[in-house]
Amino acid sequence: MEGRSTGTKLGLQLFTHRGLSPKESIMNAKSIVKRTAPHLAWIVVCAGILVFSGASDTNKDSLPLTRNSFAKVAEKTLPAVVSLSIRQGFTEEETTKAGPQGLPDLPEEFKDFKDFWEFFRFNRPYIPEEWLEQDDDGRLWLPMAGGSGVIIRSDGYIVSNRHVVLPAIDNEKLDIEVKLQDGRQFSRDKKNLQIVAVDDLRDLAVLKIDASGLPALKWGDSDAMAIGDWVLAVGNPLDLEGTASEGIISQKHRKINKALMEDLLQITAMINPGNSGGALVNLDGELVGINMAIASNTGRWQGVGFAIPSNVAQWVTDSIIKHGKLLQGYMGVGMSPETNTRMSKQTAKYYKLPEPKGVLIDEAKEGGPAAKGGLQKGDVIVELKVGKETFPIENNQDLLEAVASQPVDTKAQVTYYRDGQKRTTTVTLVERPSFEQLKEEMKSPEERKGGVSELGLTLQEITEPIAGVRIMKIAEKSAAAKAEPIRLQPGDVITEVDDVPVKTPDDVRRILKEKGVEGQHRIKFTRQNREAVTYVAP
């Protein structure tokens, strides 16, 4: 189970894929929701959601509805929707030995929910027999999580959500099983199933099973769907396989902060945990979305669901199937956290911008497209142009989406500001590195130290692998005490002053002496492992 605080006014509680075993009740699930995140706002990602969206044509003869029935659409769709589960294998000895079994080998983000895992068997002194499933070879399996998937090609290609398969992506100890509507089962353990690739940005995954002649859904045009169009959701909510529910497109172009790139369809079709990765179809039975999440403050359906548009999912899956991985553009820039959302007035003033919009470059990676195009740290990108299409850039999300939506080798014209002057350059996009490579690039290259400084700050040298100098004290009524838009605090670690990295208090003094203590100074710092930027004006 994974989640992310959305900061919405609705107080939403959101969960990822279904973490219930087939035998657990809804009441048990509700009790765990209350224990794990009683005060948090989360997005519920419902593994295995399947939804069908209706076409906007209101001509009665064109609608496959009979006496207000969706039977024809459901009949066409159900065979192409699969059940997907993550499970862990055990020997009989392992299920009965005394002592706690501990948490399974899951990604770190899953281990934050210790109460949840404890309730669902993982910290129990033994595994009750009724929780286990036995395969034809006599091996015992413990279901851990589940969702849905959609067959998109008759030769065995299936699309689902990344979060559905996330626990097992890099963990060979965990098995993935796909069950078809006709009862056939495929698994990584049996070596007739594989994860082809995942899209870390859009929460999509493509799997391949060794089968042919399968019923597959035809892609529909999600752009053609209008607010109010009928849809049908089919999936495996609460482990109830092949469940269909109707609804409408209630809004388009939603962002819920679950994935890095989102342009979601909002739907009213009833979906619950277990639905993620399922299909959203229109009245012609065409796949117009891959269901992804629900918004709820109870952990269960409250009338708001979300699906990844088919036009996005089709582009991603076509690339993965053709190349074995997703090929998408990459510029090679590190974006400042201060332009994650709207740029502050202080940032715009410091960089001499006409308005508080754009992406501040924290780093132009050596040898990357941006560096080769002449971009450098401190530049502010405000526009990207590819051919006849122009992308206004107001924040980091805008730049990420504009670049990642382009194929490799695309030439993009970049408009940016440097020292208050508007400039342009051309960069040639390269292939985006893997998620693991990007995480490695973000690590600090060396251990750094600390010291004491000006502006009313007392600094201490540090020896941990943190880049900068730690604030020990802030003098009352000093310039540092009036920093904006974020107040500095003792314990913060300053990593840069006026875009220059600092290692010691002497570095800070030298920078202030060279640029003058008077005037506005940009302070980049770390607080509780999160980077932030503020400004000090004596």
CATH architecture type of domain 1-323: Beta Barrel (2.40)
Query: Which residue, among 226, 235, 239, has the nearest Cα to 309 in the 3D structure?
Result: 226
Task: Output the 3-class SS for 22-66.
Answer: CCCCHHHHHHHHHHHCCCCCECECCCECCEEECCCCCCHHHCCCC
Q: What residue ranges of the chain are covered by domains with CATH 2.30.42.10?
A: 329-441, 457-536
Give residue 74's pLDDT: 94
- Cβ density class 404-437: b for 16+ within 10 Å, e for less: bbbeeebebebbbbbeeeeeebebebbebeeeee
Give residue 31's pLDDT: 40
Say whether the peptide bond before residue 445 is cis (omega within 30 degrees of 0): no
Catalytic residues: 163, 203, 276
The helix (H) or strand (E) run that includes residue 248 is strand 243-254
- CATH number among 3.30.70.890, 3.30.365.10, 2.30.42.10, 3.50.50.100, domain 329-441: 2.30.42.10
pTM over 0.75: no
Q: What residue ranges of the chain are covered by domains with CATH 2.40.10.120?
A: 1-323
Give residue 186's pLDDT: 94
CATH code of the domain made up of 457-536: 2.30.42.10
Query: Which residue, among 109, 114, 215, 5, has the nearest Cα to 439 in the 3D structure?
Result: 109
pLDDT average per 10 residues of sequence, the chain (538 residues): 37 41 38 37 41 40 59 94 84 49 47 43 43 62 80 97 87 86 90 93 94 96 95 90 93 85 90 91 96 82 90 94 90 87 87 93 90 94 94 90 89 95 95 70 36 47 63 79 85 86 83 73 84 83
Give residue 341's pLDDT: 77
- Burial (CB count <10 Å: 0-12, 13-18, 19+), residue 58: exposed
Give residue 458's pLDDT: 55
